[in-house]
Structure 1
Amino acid sequence: MTIADPVENRTQDDAFPALHVRPPAGWVNDPNGPFQWNGRYHLFYQHNPSAPVHANIQWGHASSADLVHWRTEPIALTPTPGHLDAGGCWSGCVVDDDGVPTAVYTAIGNGVLDASIALATSADGQLRTWRKHPAPAARAPQGLHLIGYRDPFVFTAYGHRYALVGAGLRGGGAATVLLYRCDDLYEWTYLGPLTNAADPVAARYAPADIWECPQLVRLGDRWVLIVSLWTSEILGRVAYLVGDLDISGGVPRFTPTHGGLVDAGRDFYAPAVLASPERVLLWGWSWEDRTDADVLAGGWAGLLTLPRVLTLNPAGRLASTPAPELHALRGTPVRRVVAVREQPQTVDLPSGPLDIEIRLHSQARQPTALTLRLGDNWLTVTVDPATGRAAVHRNVLHPERATRDATVHITGGTESVHMRLLLDGSIAEVFLPDGVVFTERLYPTTPARHTSLHLRGSVGTQAVITAWQLRLPGVP
């Protein structure tokens, strides 16, 4: 188990993850403030400890020295009656303010639109106790007719410190990211929008009513803006925009040149990044894709993805790969070589959690379909090495939701395709070439939870499958 003592996280629910960060019960949504301090990674998240519903939102907290062994920490921030955050401690970030760890978060008062930016500091070295600042660092600018104002993100560029706040204007489709200067973290100056959905590139890749959880990081010589797409009907997808940060006018302005999806799956939202000189890490929220009755019966909802490393691939697209530290979880490998045929070939897999690498080689460059089955639940990935088309198709047990499909493109014209699949309880994270990733939820439907992989394609394709049963931390 990664976030707690094995006894603490023991559950009879086969859907419950063993290796992903989340407490043993209650609600979890957005990751908040990934942070390194005193040799440990600290990961905060939106949390309701009393029920698997979005209410009474607090900041849960886990920490790790190695991104593998996670320890559940005391809840960091809870709503305080009479304070700015009496209605909830919503998403934000954690920064090092001249040696003082400081949480910068959305304080909710009497409702979603009664939002301000609040600060809290920690002085105990392990970030277990926090002291709230009584006054807001910022409130929504006047005259903008906002329908949303939340999720601050603080970054440094060209010798100054700035903050982003996700927002949206009335009228629909008017998502925006508001920009502040905050060299003094307690005195914010509004500078206008960093960019908004009126930009033609942003309108193409990131249409939304509100851009939530904005994250801005530098990868090489480009800047990448990540925004979660909220509409008035449903939570959406997560987009990235690659561009340039221009400060020639004295105020930073972001001009995107292209974009795409951070994750092409259907169960991924509100990621948070941790940037260091060596790399950029990302965690996302994977929500539940089962009925409310099943959620209430399980007593838990939501989890955080495994950590991913972000880069730009040679084509300039955002690429995600599993953090290399996860290799430490691998046990003894089980390897199978399968001659793919038109009739499905079945490979039985060990019980999870699993790390599976699949290498397909097709001299004829023909499509191959791989279906992962957990009892009656299944997920099919079809890759066409000739055209570079990759599609995900899965059934959905939720009675009000249809079977889901998604299509992406990877490098075409090749004979070999390498895939990696991380399976833990009900979450599947599928990594394809070029840094393409799908996050999907697959709920076991039988107590035994038989897991198998089925391959079907043209004669002449060979699949090399290597599966590792992942060891729970603390188990040799």
Structure 2
Amino acid sequence: MISALSNLIKDLVAYWNFDEVKGKIVHNVISNKSSLINYVFNNAKFKSSSDPVWHKGIRGSALLFDGCSTWIEEDINIISETNNKMSIQAWVAPRCHEYSQNGGITAIINQHNEENTEGFILGLNHFGVLQFKVASNGSWYGLRIEDKPLPLNKWSYIAAVYDGINGFIELYINGEKVGYKDLPKNSLITPTSERLIIGKTNNSPKINDIYEVSCYCGLLDELKIYKSALSKEEIEILYKGYLSEFGGELPQPDLLIDRNIFKDDRYRPVYHFISPGYWMNEPHGPLYFEGKYHLFFQHNPHGPLWRQIHWGHMVSDDMVHWKDVPCALTPGKDEIDAKGDWSGCTIVHNGVPTIIYTAGDGPIYSQCIALATSTFKEDGDVELKNWKKYHKPIILQDKHIETEAGEVHFGQFRDPFVWQEEGVYYALIGSGIKKNDESVGGTALLYTSKDLFNWEYRKPLHIGDYKRHPKTGEVWELPVFLPIGKDSNGVDKYVLLINPWFFKPSPHNVKYVWYWTGTWDKNNYNFVLDSDEPQLLDVGEHFTGPSGMVDPKGRTIIFSIAQGKRPAMDENLSGWAHNGGLPISVFLREDGRVGIEPISELKTLRQEEYVNLKDITLQEANEAIKFIKDDCIEIELQISRGQADEVGISLRKTADGEEETLLYYKYDTKEILINRNKSTLNPEYEKGIQGGIVDIGEELLKLHIFLDKSMIEVYVNNLKGLTSRVYPTRRDALGLSLWTDNNFGNSLVKSLRIWKLKSAY
């Protein structure tokens, strides 16, 4: 064995052990060359610069490749030394698998030109299929190991062997030969002028000329290239040698995204629900189980863009402070969710937490409703880290569903919302109705079941009127149906929330949440509306993607997504996109209108009370708050208008007023408005005035404002919300001031409290 190992050592032509532990440089032990690790935060734009991420490896440390910005280029001609024999070995622990643009390979290591048929590439195809290709005499010779994909979140030992003299290539996983292919004897690898790259494919495509694809995502350690063709016995010796160091039990790699990487990003919220990194969209499936709150979310752990959607997962004791846990759902090879785990909900069925979700673009079904169950009964884990997907759909859309209003759009069938009453499960599924190929309106299709697996279609719960209310969309997404309390006559009232969707570009915003209230007749499957006029829950342009639940206190809680609306390049350079809105309680007010308020648990974020003022003039209030320079604060403001028409507050303000955001109530039109025309000096960021009607009647104006870096949320008299985003250019845009359109006049601050808020993480 010692003799065999000594022969192997002399055949090494390149060796990266990744034992640097820290820093931006990696060393090739054999060539003694040092290479810069490409990494988005080497020279960061929105935060302080930081090193690539290093974790404990198989031996010493390992380098984490983030899937979008981490790779290594070395100026070395491997092929000149290995043109007739080559072996590559490495330890890999994938965090997630690339989408494999156009069926290509995500390289672990390569020096190749696909178009010119030059070089070699070792990497992964979609879902961790190991693939090795060499170019010789104008042809590609390759192996794909379809039946043994590399597992996520575990270490795997891989080896690739090319023997041009004897004419074959081989692949090994964990010491076992898993693939063999003949090639012409006395072959040579065709040389290439491309650079050797570790962690990214040569000449890989970009999305929108910005986002890198075909980048490896996971840990890499002990990468070696030999100028000989290793035998099966030699590969077994190498593998067992590593394995013996752990007593035969491999360590668990650390692959959770470290949110501390982004901790000083000037625009990234710190107390809102937010993915640990990269891309997120709608939160889904809020659940309370065994003393823990769970919230899931649309997530791409491979980069800050919409792509290969997973279900991210976080756990909390209070819906405010969240802990990251592994993804609950990951698209699977040859499964019904092969191209995405889309939106859905959760429910506890026979004591088992259950996810019901939209499975996207699988090999059989374009869209279907799928199910996954927690392993809680087997492992007792209250954090619900492990889930098992049911092997077939639980609901498929019939090709032709007729209603009195017209035919249901086939192929528009997604976003289940499920609840249970008196032993019956009810499901709403978002869709739309057409008649004579014209849109009638969006709808939420109602199904029932006794066991969650066998469902019967009933009828649309409600159908929108696209002609009268085009802003409510041609199709409805993300329907949510929840109780909001009893009216003055003791009648239970419910709210139906939806997101609009359009087939073609529309002047109407898809980022709104519309709602209707009414009574629920479960015996006849009827939702009897109080009014068919749609209402907005939030009049800003960033509150969308609703999900909800009734919590243990009996409150109806709604979660949302606050999209960033940033240029794609900035999202790419920042490494994250989007965050959740604050959880809000939705209820029926005494006056019969829908009320909303942020949940009371948010008070636990209060770190320091800056001011507590009562019954003073605006001038006196401004003098008292001029010392506040902060971008993470909570404000409770009650103000009497006097003779003013516009009354409000300037947020994220520079001392000279060059940058500021104006938030104000306009009494003449009964509107809450946000003016972002001076929010930023950057012309690429959205500006303008947004808002909508909030009729406060004779009530005193009450604004409850949350400022969290780029996030602004205001709640007006517990009637409406306004969610917005701002991206000030100047770092001193941290001030506040009150104002009116008549230079204060006789307006009075009845109450003003401001708190500094701390991070929720």
* TM-score, structure 2 as length reference: 0.57
Q: After TM superposition, which residue ranges in structure 1, 4 or more long, deviate above 6 angstroms?
A: 4-7
Q: Which moved more, 1:93-102 or 1:191-200?
A: 191-200
Q: CA 1:114/1:210 → structure 2, altered by over 3 Å: closer, same or farther? A: same
SS in 2 for 1:172: strand
CA distance in 2, matches of 1:205, 1:226: 16
Q: 2:703, 2:715 within 8 Å by CA — same for their partners in 1?
A: yes
Q: Are 2:397 and 1:140 equivalent residues in the alignment?
A: yes
Match of 1:37 in 2: 289
- Partner residue in 2 for 1:181: 448
Q: 5+ unaligned residues in a row in structure 1: which ranges? A: none
Measure the CA separation in 2 of the matches of 1:388 and 1:412: 9
- RMSD, aligned α-carbons: 2.7
1:41-440 alignment runs, 5 A limit:
41-110=293-362, 114-124=366-376, 125-143=382-400, 144-157=408-421, 159-170=423-434, 171-198=438-465, 204=469, 207-220=472-485, 221-232=492-503, 233=505, 235-247=510-522, 250-258=523-531, 259-276=534-551, 278-335=554-611, 339-340=617-618, 347-364=626-643, 366-374=645-653, 378-384=660-666, 388-395=670-677, 399=684, 401=686, 403-414=688-699, 416-440=700-724
Residues 223-253 of structure 1 show CA distances to partners (whole Å, capped at 9, x for unaligned) of: 1100011123263411010012224xx4402
Query: For residues 271 and 377 of structure 1, do their structure 2 counterparts lie closer, same or farther at Cα, with a shift above 3 Å needed?
Result: farther
Q: Distance in 1 between matches of 2:627 and 2:535?
A: 35
**Letter paired with 1:353:** C
Deviation for aligned residue 1:106: 0.3
Residue 47 of structure 1: SS of its match in structure 2?
strand
Q: Residue 400 and residue 141 in structure 1: after superposition, are their counterparts in 2 closer, same or farther (change >3 A)?
A: farther
Higher relative contact order (CA 8 A, sep 6+): 1
Is this contact kept in 1: 2:442–2:466, CA < 8 A? no
Q: Secondary structure at the match of 1:294?
A: helix
Q: Equivalents in 1 of 2:431, 2:474: separation in Å?
A: 8
Q: Give the letter aligned to residue 422 of structure 1.
A: F
**Mapped pair 1:445 → 2:702:** no
CA distance in structure 2 between the aligned counterparts of 1:54 and 1:381, rounded to whole angstroms: 31
Write out per-residue CA displacement over residues 102-154 of structure 1, whole angstroms, 9 at most, x where no aligned residue: 00000012599800000000023321000010010001122133352110000
Higher strand proportion, which one? 1
- Tell me the SS of whatever aligns to 1:297: helix
Q: Following TM superposition, by how much is the alpha carbon of 1:364 offset from its aligned partner in structure 2, in angstroms?
A: 4.3
Total equivalences in the alignment: 464
Kindly provide the amino acid, as one letter, of the partner of residue 756 in structure 2.
Q
In the alignment, what sits opposite 1:461?
Answer: 747
Alpha carbons of structure 1 residues 112 and 294: separation in structure 2 relative to 1, 3 Å: farther
Select between 356-365 and 238-247 the one with higher mean Cα deviation: 356-365
1:177-230 residue CA offsets vs partner (Å, 9 max, x unmatched): 111002210111111211111499xx5496211110000001121111000111
Change in Cα spacing, 1:386 to 1:449, as seen in structure 2 (3 Å) is closer
Q: Is the CA contact 1:387–1:413 (under 8 Å) kept in the aligned structure 2? A: no
In 1, the alpha carbon distance for the partners of 2:541 and 2:627 equals: 26
Task: Please give the alpha-carbon distance, in whole angstroms, between the structure 1 residues aligned to 2:268 and 2:482.
Answer: 32
CA 1:13/1:113 → structure 2, altered by over 3 Å: closer, same or farther? Answer: farther
Partner of 1:237: helix, strand, or coil?
coil
**Residue type at the aligned position of 2:570:** D
Q: Is the 8 A contact 1:358 1:418 kept in 2?
A: yes
CA distance in 1, matches of 2:559, 2:734: 29
CA distance in 2: counterparts of 1:77 and 1:7, whole angstroms: 20
Identity of aligned residues (%): 29
Q: Is residue 513–residue 538 contact of structure 2 (8 Å, CA) maintained in 1?
A: yes
CA gap of 1:311–1:173, structure 2 versus 1, over 3 A, is: same
Residue type of the alignment partner of 2:497? I
AA aligned to 1:441 is R
Which of these two proteins has the greater Rg computed from alpha carbons?
2
Contact 1:387 1:412 in 2 (8 A): no
Task: Give the letter for the 1:467 counterpart.
Answer: I
Is the 8 Å Cα contact of residues 212 and 228 (structure 1) preserved in structure 2?
yes
